[in-house]
Structure 1
């Protein structure tokens, strides 16, 4: 049976995001909480598959191994970019996929900012070499940490969107939200400014689950792409035909 397209599966910390690509065109998306839901959703067609991560779940490995045509992204997977990174065995596959996706789309130096559970900053130069970056706490992680490591500060991570965001907070909850949110904005602006000094013709791409909160807050021109990791996974799968 002829393959009907590529299924790309991004297994994140809180959600599994998938998409079908025909060539380089994304044609549909599907999100799930469990991997078995993904298999059930796509079971009636023949696809090529790529998985960003499956962890140590033996049932997942068993289910995936039964697929006729699949790839699990790892540090040993051939990539369309090269890695200038001293510990590739610790480099997150989501960071690899996002960087590949960015370079595939823009064909020049790219700074990828992935605003998720953690915020990652990854640089691919114009020659297609991944140069590394930085990892910082995500928005909710900052809020949770301030409560966890102190005796009296509340955890506002579940309600922060309902709390007014002010330059000068007038309640402790407002101050916590402002400190966490504006702290992320200033951090992102600072990283972008620093990278622009070294890479003048730089595309800055913002992605991740929290990207929508920040895309209009940054000083420098950016591109927001919520499918960047999926695009990168598809690019890697096509590269490994």
Structure 2
């Protein structure tokens, strides 16, 4: 090998800073694009903003939400824990988006940091369902079938305790709602005494000009189904649909 050929071979082996920088930028762009695709179509991370889903999910828990289950004709089912956009002043400052640094906001945009500004509740009724509160044991009935929710809701206490209390008034544990309109859901938090959910927006008998659709969440507002509690690691677990709703008949 001549000296010229040796010098040329040595130059090819030397790192080229611009090439390395270009490859790094391309990898970063690809990673961001992949994260955006995953966030948009598959999985997104959120945090729990309030006490409304205790005892299973507590404030600042990080949860993972999957979206493919609700593609096409598949929609939320009774018992699913869902994340949805505010359907109309439900947040009302109570569960406002968590303040974040510039970096956290940037990561949140591409799905690499949990976001807020949404609500997390459990689906109680789907289209056509009629929900009644409550039977002699304080249980909700859906289409005439009592549902035992003791395994996952916060225990209700007091003389007039039930699984579907309204905030106040004579209808505290005595109300009926439905049939749930097509394309809508009736949702409740697992902490029934501290949840700004569908039951808190029911029209009272003496209310004038009350919107009968106010308690319902449009399915179009649903982001996806919670499938995992991801953080803190000591409590990390999969989140599934309880079998308490299995015996509920379809609406007639």
TM-score range, shorter chain: under 0.3
Larger Rg: 2
Report the TM-score, using the length of structure 1 for normalisation: 0.27
Instruction: Select the structure that is richer in helix.
Output: 1
> With CA pairs under 8 Å and 6+ residues apart, which has the higher RCO, 1 or 2?
2
